[in-house]
Chains A and B, each alone.
Chain A
C-alpha cells in the first residue's frame, strides 16, 4: 500500500518536473522566436524598397513621397551625427560622475547621488522631448548658441559646423539631450567595473605616492578599459535608437546639412513622424527598411558591447 503511493508520487513528480522544465524551455525559445520574428517581419517588409532601390538606398539622400524616390542617407547621417555628439559630451560627463561616486564622494553621499543619476534613466524620453522643445531649446538659442557662433566664427572649419540662425532646435540640441539621457547608462557600467579593481592595486599606487587622478588614469582605467568601452557601447545603443526626445527637438527635415545647428532627421524620428501617414507600398517599405537598418546598427553595437563586457566579466 505504502509502496504504491510512493511510486505514484514519484511518477506524478516526474511528470510535473518535465512539464515545468518544458514550460521554461518553451518560454526561453519564445524569446528567441520573437527576436527572429522581428528580423523576418522587418526584412520581409523592407524587401520591396531594397528591390527597387538596391544598395543605392543606403547612399541616396533623396526622400520624396510624391515621386516615390527614397534613400536612407539623410536619416542615417542624422542618427550617426546626433549619437556622435551625444558620445562626445556624454562620455566625459559620465566618466566624471562615475569618478566622483567611486573615488571622491563621502560614503553617506554615494547612495543618494547614485540614485539621483539613475533616476535620469527613469524619466520617460517624451518628457526629455517636451522639456527640450519648450524649455531647453529657447534657453539654448538665447544664451549658448550666439556665444558658440561668436567663438567659432573666426575659425573657418568650425564656422561651417555652427552656422545658421540660432533656432534652438536642430541636430546639436538633439545630441545634447541624448548626452544627458545616456549618462546614467554609461555611469552605471563605469561604476561597476571601477569597483572590481582589486584594492591591492589601488593601495599600492597610493602607497607609491600617486595622486587620486594618477591612480584613476594610470591604474584603474587601464585595468578596466575593456569594460568602460563596453559601457560606452551600451550608451551608444541607447542614443542610436532613442525616438521621442529626438523627434521633439531635431526639427524633422529630410536633408543633410553641414551645420549642426540646422534641423535634421534620424531614423527613429523619421519613423515616428511618417510611419502612420505613409501612403503606398514603396513608402511604407522604405520606412520599414529604415527600421531594419536601425535594428541592425543597434544589434552590431550591442554585440560589441556584450563581447567586451563579457570578457571583463570573465576576469572578475
Chain B
C-alpha cells in the first residue's frame, strides 16, 4: 500500500481505539516502516501517558500549540527512537492533558476548526513528503466532534472500532450511514472486545455484520475480549511486553492486511 493516513475512530468511548492505534503503530514500526502517531483526542488525551517513559515527560510542544499557532510543524513532532532499534523512524504528536488545555479546545468555534483542518493537511503533507513517513495514524475522539471529523476528513482510510455491545453497534451503524457515506471515505470495521466465542461460530460475527446493516464496509478483524488487555492498566505498549499474546497476533494480522489493502 502506498503511503497512507489512517484514522482510528468509534461512535462511543471505551472501544479500545487507543490501545489498537498504539499497537498498530508499533506493529508497523516493527516491520521497518516509518510511522507517525498523532493524538487527535483533545477531550481525553492519552498518548502522553502511554509514552511517558520514552519521552521522559519532556514534551515541549503539544498539538494544541500547533493548532493554536504557538509552534511550528517541526516543533510539535517528537521523534522517538530505540523502541525496536536505534534506527526507528517514529514521530509522535501529543495532545495536552491539562484541564486548561482540554477546556480551551472544547471552547473553539467553527473558524478555528477551519484553520485547524488546513494545518492538519499541512502536517500530513510534511509527514508524508518531507519526513517520508509511510503510515500516519490518528487516534481520534469518539463520536461526531470537530477534532475527530477533521482527522477523518484528512485521512485516506478510516478504521471504525466497535465492540459487540448492541448500543455500540447501533451507534456505529448510524455513524456509517449518516456520516461516513457523506465523506466517501475508504472505511473498514474492526470489532473489538468481542465475546470470546465470537470467533468460533461464524454466525455470531455475521449477526453483528447484519446488525450494522452494511455490505459496503469490510469487517477487517474480530478481536476477542482478553482479560490481560483489560488488566494492562494503561500499559498500552503490549507489543513490547507480551509480543506473543493473541491480541498482538491479531494486531499484526490487521497491519498486514492494511499494508496489502
Report whether chain A binds chain B: no
Interface residues of B (CB under 8 A from A): none
Interface residues of A (CB under 8 A from B): none
